[in-house]
Amino acid sequence: MFKKIINLYVFYKKSKNIKRYFENNLKSKKYSSNSIILIEFNAFFGSHGFFSLMSYKLTEKYSSNLIAFQNYKLSGMSFKESLFDKIKWIIGKKLGINLFGIYKSFGVKNFIKPYFQKKNKKFIENSYQDILNKIQTKIDILKISVDEIPIGDLIYDGYLKLYGKSTLQIDSDDFKNYLYDFLTIFYFWKDYLNKNDVKCVVGVHARYAYGIIHRLAVYNNIKSLIIIEGKLYNLNKDIMHETSEYKLFKKIFSSFSESQKYRYKKIATKYLNNRFSGKLGNEVKELVLNKSAYSNEFDINNKILNNNKKIKILIATHSLGDASSFWGPGFFPDFYEWLIFLVNISKKTEYDWYIKDHPYTSDLKLAKSLDRTIQLSKDILKQGKNFNYIDSNTTHNQIISEKIDFVLTVYGTVAMEYAYHNIPVIMATKNCPTSPYNFNIHPENISDYENKLMNLKDQKIKINKEEVLEYFFMRYIFFDYDVFFENFSSFFDNKENNWDDVDTLNFLDFWSEKVDKKTINNMIKKFDKFLDSNDYSMNIMYNKIL
């Protein structure tokens, strides 16, 4: 109890200073027009500094007023609210308590949230029945569209996220309830965007149920901006997910001179070597993890691969907290179905199968997801033929040194990392960042995927390491997380800060210290240029220092 009181006091003191900072530097003006900028209302404190700056420019550019919208129903909480939650919303909104106060300090005029509207009941129920009638298999869910707007990926991944499940049962009551609530939110925002002059929607995710309003905005030709991990995205019908700049890699890289290409690949080589030597953070252009998967600390005499002549395959699993359709639908509706498919393949082959999860990090929020992933991997182990479990903290450098023959992933970074070591990686989707390149094996469909797995001896691939370097440069350096706010990564120079701390008031303290008047002006110039360009994502060309 005493600790809670202390925490509330610390929150009060910090938020008071932060509100004063926003009011003095980035408070949006009030305009007489009826046009609106919608900004996501959330507890991701790492987004609030960006939100304040973007709102400041957007409201000015469009002479619009700033409204915050609740967007965590069906992602962080169920659709139905308790009486306590309703009272908290009313009091917080009226008195400007906690998060409401922070949002008001940078100019938010009102707060809204989706709710069931009787006038939409007929639309909801018609769509609900139509969808259920069409669903025969799990993969059918990914094909769902309403009013010609594709939303199946949001429904499937959103359901798994909310309930913390490995897979989905079509006939389950919780899925049917989720679908109905999802459509309730869909039609609320559809109606709202049709009736109001919304110029722009700003948020942090366009996946799961978070993505409903962004998908609708894109199809209504309303600007949809995402700011996540320091990176800024302008979504469109061709690229409806954030972090999908990979579709532009080859075109952009081909525009560089030969001397530039040579230099950029040398830079990529340095960072990749850092990665394979076990370094972390900005030295490898990866801020989320605090444990390397490439430690060099292993005993070469303590072998983990069996000493036989069988083809050896590593399955690199994915966190069950991630969206399986992260970049669009793959061959399988979720990671569980992918693993079950591989189990069935194992029963038809004489390969040696190895399964390995991400390194375990107990001090991050993703630990719960890793727990579920590890449990699933061990359950899979009991079902497959010739399956071996590799401890999640085993370094990939040992697996590489013992000469694994093939690696399987849906869209993981091992696709690039093992290819760099001339080891074939077979992907389980065509919607993945490495798809424009030839250093991985990209099957055409699930039948082709099965055929390739059943005939691994016939799979020949000539890996061009230069392509891997190009890919790394484009993904991690050209689209750097320090482009917009060039001190973003220096938040982690303080060794006490990890990725979870980005979404605490500690980051806003850091922001208010680093983002002075000069920095604000520079960031607004970049943002203004970005808005006029219609580029999909901000890149290093926007930052002279980088």
Q: In the prediction, which pLDDT does 295 show?
A: 87
384 or 121: which leads in pLDDT: 121
Q: Are strands 231-234 and 223-228 parallel, antiparallel or unpaired?
A: antiparallel
User: Residues 101-121: what's their mean pLDDT?
Assistant: 97
User: Residues 501-517: what's their mean pLDDT?
Assistant: 94
Last residue of a domain, one of 440, 461, 478: 478
| Separation of first and last alpha carbons in the chain | 47
User: Is the pLDDT at 205 greater than 80, yes or no?
Assistant: yes
Tokens 């869909």, residue located: 186
pTM: 0.95
Q: In the prediction, which pLDDT does 363 show?
A: 62
Cβ neighbors of 311 (< 8 A, separation 6 or more) are: 351, 352, 405, 406, 456, 457
User: Is the pLDDT at 406 greater than 90, yes or no?
Assistant: yes
Q: Assess whether 8 and 108 both reside in one domain.
A: yes
Q: In the prediction, which pLDDT does 7 show?
A: 65
Lowest mean pLDDT among 255-264, 494-503, 505-514: 494-503
Q: In the prediction, which pLDDT does 289 show?
A: 80
Q: In the prediction, which pLDDT does 2 show?
A: 62
Tell me whether residue 184 is in a domain. no
Instruction: Give φ, ψ of 87 to 5 degrees.
Output: -65, -40
Q: How far apart are CA 364 and CA 213, in angstroms?
A: 29
User: Is the pLDDT at 327 greater than 70, yes or no?
Assistant: yes
User: Residues 255-274: what's their mean pLDDT?
Assistant: 97
Q: Assess whether 113 and 131 both reside in one domain.
A: no
Closest CA to 427 of 414, 443, 416: 443
Q: Assess whether 489 and 381 both reside in one domain.
A: no
User: Is the pLDDT at 139 greater than 70, yes or no?
Assistant: yes
Alpha helix segments (H runs only) across 110-172: 121-134, 138-141, 152-163
Q: Assess whether 160 and 13 both reside in one domain.
A: no
User: Residues 172-195: what's their mean pLDDT?
Assistant: 98
* Amino acid at the residue 201: V
* Residue 276 contacts residue 477 (beta carbons within 8 Å): no
Percent with pLDDT over 70 in the chain: 97
Q: Are strands 223-228 and 36-41 parallel, antiparallel or unpaired?
A: unpaired
Mean pLDDT over the full length of the chain: 94
369 or 61: which leads in pLDDT: 61
Q: Assess whether 284 and 355 both reside in one domain.
A: yes
Walk across the sheet containing 198-203 and list its strands: 110-112, 65-70, 36-41, 198-203, 223-228, 231-234
Tell me whether residue 405 is in a domain. yes
Q: Assess whether 127 and 111 both reside in one domain.
A: no
pLDDT classification of 204: cutoffs 50, 70, 90: very high
Tell me whether residue 385 is in a domain. yes
pLDDT in tens, 22-79: 999 999 999 989 999 999 999 999 999 999 999 999 999 999 999 999 999 999 899 9
Tell me whether residue 313 is in a domain. yes
Last residue of a domain, one of 478, 498, 527: 478
User: Residues 164-177: what's their mean pLDDT?
Assistant: 95
Q: In the prediction, which pLDDT does 47 show?
A: 97
Q: Is residue 73 helix, strand or coil?
A: strand
pLDDT classification of 364: cutoffs 50, 70, 90: low
Q: In the prediction, which pLDDT does 155 show?
A: 98
Q: Assess whether 470 and 336 both reside in one domain.
A: yes
Q: In the prediction, which pLDDT does 8 show?
A: 66
Q: Assess whether 353 and 387 both reside in one domain.
A: yes
Q: Assess whether 394 and 343 both reside in one domain.
A: yes
User: Residues 396-415: what's their mean pLDDT?
Assistant: 97
* Amino acid at the residue 324: S
Q: How buried is residue 230: exposed, middle or buried, by Cβ count under 10 Å (0-12/13-18/19+)?
A: buried
- The neighbour count for residue 403, using CB atoms within 10 Å, is 10
Which residue range forms the structural domain that includes residue 438? Answer: 258-478
Q: Assess whether 287 and 403 both reside in one domain.
A: yes
Q: Assess whether 437 and 396 both reside in one domain.
A: yes
Q: In the prediction, which pLDDT does 162 show?
A: 94
Q: How far apart are CA 120 and CA 131, in angstroms?
A: 16
Range 335-339 contact pairs with CB under 8 angstroms and sequence separation of 24 or more? 335/166, 335/410, 336/166, 336/167, 336/376, 337/138, 337/167, 338/410, 338/428, 339/315, 339/376, 339/377, 339/380
Strand locations in 190-310 (E): 198-203, 223-228, 231-234
Q: In the prediction, which pLDDT does 376 show?
A: 86
CA 95 vs CA 22, 92, 247: distances in Å? 18, 5, 46
pLDDT classification of 545: cutoffs 50, 70, 90: confident
Q: Is residue 288 helix, strand or coil?
A: coil
Q: What is the dihedral of CA 371, 374, 380, 384, to 10 degrees?
A: -170
Lowest mean pLDDT among 1-10, 15-24, 112-121, 420-429: 1-10
Number of domains in the chain: 3
Tell me whether residue 83 is in a domain. yes
Tell me whether residue 114 is in a domain. yes
User: Is the pLDDT at 4 greater than 80, yes or no?
Assistant: no
Tell me whether residue 109 is in a domain. yes
Last residue of a domain, one of 453, 478, 503: 478
Q: In the prediction, which pLDDT does 322 show?
A: 84
CA angle 526, 286, 531 (to 5 degrees): 20
User: Is the pLDDT at 321 greater than 80, yes or no?
Assistant: no
User: Is the pLDDT at 14 greater than 90, yes or no?
Assistant: no
* Residue 342 contacts residue 331 (beta carbons within 8 Å): no
User: Is the pLDDT at 362 greater than 80, yes or no?
Assistant: no
Closest CA to 148 of 134, 133, 127: 127
Q: In the prediction, which pLDDT does 1 show?
A: 59
Q: Assess whether 422 and 446 both reside in one domain.
A: yes
Q: How far apart are CA 125 and CA 116, in angstroms?
A: 12
Tell me whether residue 308 is in a domain. yes
User: Residues 506-531: what's their mean pLDDT?
Assistant: 96
User: Residues 521-536: what's their mean pLDDT?
Assistant: 96
pLDDT classification of 184: cutoffs 50, 70, 90: very high
Q: What is the dihedral of CA 248, 250, 253, 259, to 10 degrees?
A: 180
Q: What is the dihedral of CA 355, 358, 363, 368, to 10 degrees?
A: -60
pLDDT in tens, 408-450: 999 999 999 999 999 999 999 999 999 999 999 999 999 999 9
* Residue 23 contacts residue 53 (beta carbons within 8 Å): no
